Amino acid sequence: MSRLLVENGTVVTPSGSARANVLVDGEHVAALLTPEAPLPGGGELRRIDAAGKLVVPGGIDVHTHMEMPFGGTFASDTFATGTRAAAWGGTTTIVDFAIQPRGRSPREGLETWMARADGSCAIDYGFHMILSDVTDEALKEMGGLVDDGVTSFKLFMAYPGVFYSDDGQILRAMQAAASCGATVMMHAENGIAIDVLVAQALARGSGEPRMHGATRPSVLEGEATHRAIVLAGVADCPLYIVHLSAMEALQEVTAARDAGRMVFAETCPQYLFLEDDVMARPDFEGAKYVCSPPIRPHGHGDALWRGLGSDDLSVVATDHCPFCFKEQKELGRGDFSKIPNGLPGVEHRMDLIFQGVLEGRITVERWVELTSSAPARLFGLYPRKGSLLPGADADIVIYDPGRTHTLSAQSHHMAVDYSAYEGLRVTGGVDVVVSRGTVVVEGGEFRGEEGHGRFVARTPFEGLEVPLHGRPGATKLAHQKEE
């Protein structure tokens, strides 16, 4: 077994930062040692000097869509290219979304996605399951999927006719989730109302990209978020709101969490760094920024940053779902409703959120929590992932807090022809990335390989014994109650 010592760095975890050395034995963290501690004996040892650098658990992005079918095309990153790009940016685990095909079973969807990822990934991966057809048969399958490590199910209040579930279907799925230890993830936008606004805009002849934002107002995200929280309360089911973008939705989540409810939410870098004027860029450039929920007007981003600082928001994920500008976003020229929805971002999450540390919006410990430890805890990966505890997978990032670089399609590694952050200069960058004890990025080179990444079976949501940031812990869950 080969051993690795990451020495002289500052180890950062959600509970604090300290000078320490990390000893890796094979695929696992063997020990966290004070700088003076003698090294336990053993075999061959490779040393990596992390002086002046931060040493953190590898990033965990719990919201990606590699090769996702959408609007007649597929997200442009495959599991091979997307996970390599993730590694470049310091992410060592993704949780992607398998999709139940309408009229078919969730299990069939999982098998399709497993086959796509198997042998392709540069880093470890897991799956959530998108329920796009909530039938009795689909509900019965949920327990078996949880047993196989797929412990979270995404439902959509948007996209009628595609992924949409009505309130009755949502309630039934939440009840089934509560009884088998699963978490429901919600795309919370009122899709029925949105479709009315979309049809009216198109009938007026307003087909340009900026209308995507205008027809999905933030109040319709707030309303759907409220409804999702109410339904989850009726079902006694843990709820995780995905890609939260609007202050109205944040208010609903905050109120629920203040009341001690098992409600969590993520936001994404695009909602923190971009504002809705990007969708009005000329020459159809606005299409690059079409995603759902849409990029919001000025003011929402600042509210979201505050939410990250106060733990009203628990996680930053990317919703990485790239479509090339030239060939794919083009599908919606003249009709914004046909623009494939989604933005690239899996490579830049750690760097972008680190800007929040430099700007004094969050602490460096909170940066680690939001990008690694909290998603691991909420999605059944902790402490194997998202920690540097002895026995954890040796997923480690050595991060240079002083390095500056510019985000650009010329230099990124995602398989997409534009960057949503073109020209943005950031401070902080990944130096070395270790995935299960293997160095996959070092010295500005990718050293990993396709197929190194393994499927990670996740455990059911067990509540949070140690509340994140002083919020009440979760109450006993339905599936844990005595019969």
Nearest approach, Cβ of residue 165 and ligand URP (Å): 13
How far is 89 from 87, CA to CA, in rounded Å? 5
Other C-beta atoms within 10 Å of 253: how many? 26
Nearest approach, Cβ of residue 65 and ligand URP (Å): 5
Is there binding between residue 84 and ligand URP (CB under 6 A)? no
Is there binding between residue 319 and Zn ion (CB under 5 A)? yes
Which of 339, 441 has the CB closer to ligand URP? 339
SS3 (DSSP) at 331: helix
H or E segment and range at residue 425: strand 424-435
Nearest approach, Cβ of residue 171 and Zn ion (Å): 19
Phi/psi for 150 (5° steps) reads -105, 95
Binds ligand URP (CB under 6 A): choice among 291, 357, 362, 440: 291
Q: Which does 247 bind (CB under 5 to 8 A by kind): Zn ion, ligand URP, none?
A: none
Of residues 479, 59, 473, 61, the one with CA closest to residue 242 = 61
SS3 (DSSP) at 444: coil
Which single residue brings its beta carbon nearest to ligand URP?
341
Is there binding between residue 65 and ligand URP (CB under 6 A)? yes
Which of 61, 319 has the CB closer to ligand URP? 319
Nearest approach, Cβ of residue 210 and ligand URP (Å): 16
Nearest approach, Cβ of residue 187 and Zn ion (Å): 3
Nearest approach, Cβ of residue 70 and ligand URP (Å): 7
Per-position DSSP letters for 182-197, written without gaps between them: -EEEEE---HHHHHHH
How far is 47 from 4, CA to CA, in rounded Å? 6
Which of 342, 375 has the CB closer to ligand URP? 342
Exposure of 186 in the CB half-sphere (CA atoms within 13 A): 37
H or E segment and range at residue 364: helix 364-368
Which of 10, 190 has the CB closer to Zn ion? 190
Ranges within 1-20 binding ligand URP (CB under 6 A): none
Is there binding between residue 212 and ligand URP (CB under 6 A)? no
Of residues 36, 71, 96, the one with CA closest to residue 455 = 96
Which span (159-167, 186-194, 217-225, 413-421) binds Zn ion, by CB under 5 A? 186-194
Does residue 460 have a cis bond before it (omega within 30 degrees)? no
Which span (101-109, 185-193, 251-259, 414-422) binds Zn ion, by CB under 5 A? 185-193
Binds Zn ion (CB under 5 A): choice among 107, 187, 320, 458: 187
Is there binding between residue 187 and ligand URP (CB under 6 A)? yes
List of residues 6+ apart from 418 with CB closer than 8 A = 288, 324, 325, 344, 409
Which of 232, 321 has the CB closer to ligand URP? 321
Nearest approach, Cβ of residue 397 and ligand URP (Å): 25
Q: Which does 385 bind (CB under 5 to 8 A by kind): Zn ion, ligand URP, none?
A: none
Chain Cα centroid distance, residue 192? 26
Q: Which does 341 bind (CB under 5 to 8 A by kind): ligand URP, Zn ion, none?
A: ligand URP
Which of 216, 384 has the CB closer to ligand URP? 216
CB 401 within 8 A of CB 354: yes
Q: Which does 342 bind (CB under 5 to 8 A by kind): ligand URP, Zn ion, none?
A: ligand URP
Is there binding between residue 292 and ligand URP (CB under 6 A)? yes
- 396-407 vs 424-435, strand pairing mode: antiparallel
Percentage helix, strand, coil for the chain under 3-state DSSP, each rounded to 5: 35, 25, 40
Nearest approach, Cβ of residue 253 and Zn ion (Å): 16
SS3 (DSSP) at 372: helix
Distance from the first to the final alpha carbon of the chain: 46
List of residues 6+ apart from 29 with CB closer than 8 A = 22, 23, 388, 389, 390, 391, 392, 393, 394, 396
Tokens of 312: 């009203």
SS3 (DSSP) at 182: coil
Is there binding between residue 312 and Zn ion (CB under 5 A)? no
* Angle (deg, nearest 10), helices 136-147 and 106-117: 40
Binds ligand URP (CB under 6 A): choice among 342, 345, 386, 428: 342
How far is 304 from 318, CA to CA, in rounded Å? 14
Is there binding between residue 341 and ligand URP (CB under 6 A)? yes
Nearest approach, Cβ of residue 119 and Zn ion (Å): 24
Binds ligand URP (CB under 6 A): choice among 321, 397, 434, 468: 321
Nearest approach, Cβ of residue 184 and ligand URP (Å): 15
Which of 164, 367 has the CB closer to ligand URP? 164
CB 113 within 8 A of CB 466: no
Binds ligand URP (CB under 6 A): choice among 223, 248, 319, 431: 319
Is there binding between residue 324 and ligand URP (CB under 6 A)? no
> Using CB under 5 A as the criterion, which residues of the chain lie in contact with Zn ion when the complex forms?
187, 319
> Using CB under 6 A as the criterion, which residues of the chain lie in contact with ligand URP when the complex forms?
65, 187, 243, 291-292, 319, 321, 341-342
